[in-house]
Every structure is written in structure tokens, then in C-alpha cells.
Structure 1
């Protein structure tokens, strides 16, 4: 692809391609849209993408890509959409991911990411969707996420998070979907979640929460799906 120096959009989705992604995919330095989802690509994400300051949209989900997640991430000032889900990327999320100031969707679910969530994630002010589910993330859920005031969807289920649910999450009034299920979270359900009056789906199942179901949860007028199964909750249902 060395000769495609004027290439601005490359879409290879939903085929049966195998092997590595093209190493010179951004040889012209003009690429804005790179979609290669739902194939059988293996190996690391090409280093040449790090020269693509023009990238706006990257969709590489549903492949078998491997390597250190931090090697796949660099400063793409215009990046708006990044989906790397359903691959085999590993190691820790780097703090520099917060440099994606224009990112509205970040989905890296179903990989092998580990370690703690960087608090710098809270600096991604335009983020609407954050999906890091089904990885090996651990330690506490950072309070820095509360700074994501444009967030619609927060999915952290099926990880290894410990500690309590940060009450600060209840200050994200834009939330429509919150899933923290299948972790190792303890303590009560924070009453501040009752502030998220427009939330449609709330899934806290499969943790070790206790105490009663708060009256505030019962006042979530838009709630269409609530899953609190698998805890030690007591008392009456409000």
C-alpha cells in the first residue's frame, strides 16, 4: 500500500482477511478513517499508525490482534472514535490516553488489559461511551471518572475491581447505562446514584454489596433494566 499516498479512508470490515494489518497503512499521512473490524487479523497494531495525526476514526474490533495496549496508543489529536474490543491486547492502559481530547467513544472490552484505571481518564471531557468490560482491571474504580460529564455509557463489568462504588459516579447526570457487574465491589449502594434520573440501565450484579436498596434507587423514573442479583442486600424493596 506504499503507493496509496492520498488515501484518506480504508475500510476492510467483515471479510476473512488473515495475517498482520498492512504495515504501511498510513504511508501518505492523510488517513482519517481506518476500519478493519470483524476479520482474522493477528499480530500488533502497525507502528505506522503513530504517524497518522489525521486519524479520526479507528475500528479494529473482532480480530485477534496482540501486543501491549500502550504500544497501540499514541497522540492522535483528531481521534473521535476508537474501538479495539474483542482482541488479545494486554498490559496496562497508559495515562497518556487522556490526550485524546476529542474522543467520544473508547471501547477496549474483551481483551487482556490489567492493572488500575488511570485517573487521567477523567480528562477526556468529550467522552460519551467508555467500555472496558471483560478484562483484568483491578484495584479501586477511580473517582476521576466523575469528571466525565458528557458520559452516556460506562461499562466496567467482568473485571477484578475491588473497594466500594465511588459515590462521585452519581454526579455524572448524563448517564444512561451503568454496568459494574461481576467485580469484587463491596459496601452499600451509594445514594448518589439516585441523582442519575435519566439512567435507563443499571447493573450492579455479581459483587458483594450489602445493606438495603436505597429509596433513591426506587425514584429513578427512566429506569428500564435493574439488576441487583447476587448480593447480601436486605430490607424492603422501595
Structure 2
């Protein structure tokens, strides 16, 4: 059973700017939700170090893409929701989905309006737990 200290829901506030660098210390998180704010900039690479993370909700912000490739190291992740990844001159106009092969626990994946291009990778259909796409 997870303790409440390992859960952060900062959703539906009016936070702005980039996610603080100090958040990299939140390594025991199992759930992190910041839906409905105005966070901007890139999704921090340090999220890949949150090894216990099971739920990651980033929708309703103004992040720049792409998804950090390290996010695929979160093998306990069951829920990933991101929308509105915008292109920027320094990050490119479109992105491809990182290799999600190791994300076998993932059962819900939302990537809405994320400037993704190319074919949907075949591995998506092979994720054993995926029930919502």
C-alpha cells in the first residue's frame, strides 16, 4: 500500500513556468498529477528517475515536446496522459513516439494533440496491459 506522502496532485491550479528542478528529489512518488495548470517548457528528464511512478498526468499544460525518451524506463507506469506538446524552434516541429517496449504495465495511454508524426509503432498493439489508447 502506498502512503499519501508518495502521491502528489497539484491539478487545476494556476501554476506557471517550468517544473521546479527540486522536484527531481521526489523519487518515491507513485502518482504525480499536474493536470489543468499552465506549466511550460520541456517535460523534465528527471521524471525518468521516479522509478516507483505508476501514474503520470500532465494534461492541460503548455509543455514543449518531445516526450523525454527516459520516460520509457518507468516500467511500473500504468497511466500516462499528456496533451498539447507544442513544437518549438529548438525542439523541432514534430516528434515520434519513444520506444515503449519496456512499458509493459501501461494500461492507459493518452497522447492527445502532441505533434506526433509517422506511423503508430507496432509495439503499441503488443503492450500486454494496454486497455485504453
Q: TM-score, normalised by structure 2?
A: 0.85
Is the 1:70–1:91 Cα contact (8 Å) retained in structure 2? Answer: no
Corresponding position of 1:134: 84
- What is the correspondence of 1:75-86 to structure 2 with a 5 Å cutoff? 75-86=25-36
Deviations along 1:177-229, one digit per CA (max 9) or x if unpaired, are 01xxxxxxxxxxxxxxxxxxxxxxxxxxxxxxxxxxxxxxxxxxxxxxxxxxx
Query: Could you say what secondary structure the match of 2:29 adopts?
Result: coil
| Runs of 4+ displaced beyond 4 Å | none
TM superposition shift of 1:75: 2.7
Superposition pairs of residues 196-207 of structure 1, within 5 angstroms:
none
Given that 2:85 and 2:114 are in contact with CA atoms closer than 8 Å, whether structure 1 keeps it comes out as: yes
Higher strand share: 1
Q: In structure 2, list runs of 5 or more residues that go unmatched.
A: 88-93
Larger Rg: 1
Q: Distance in 1 between matches of 2:20 and 2:66?
A: 14
Task: Give me the whole-angstrom Cα distance separating, in 2, the residues matched to 1:95 and 1:103.
Answer: 14
Equivalence for 2:90? none
Residues 90 and 109 from structure 1, CA distance in 2 versus in 1: closer, same or farther, beyond 3 angstroms? same
User: Cα deviation per residue 1:133-164 (whole Å; 9 max; x = unaligned)?
Assistant: 23426411112x22111011000012211122
Corresponding residue of 2:118: 163
Structure 1 residue runs without a partner (length 5+) = 1-31, 34-54, 179-238
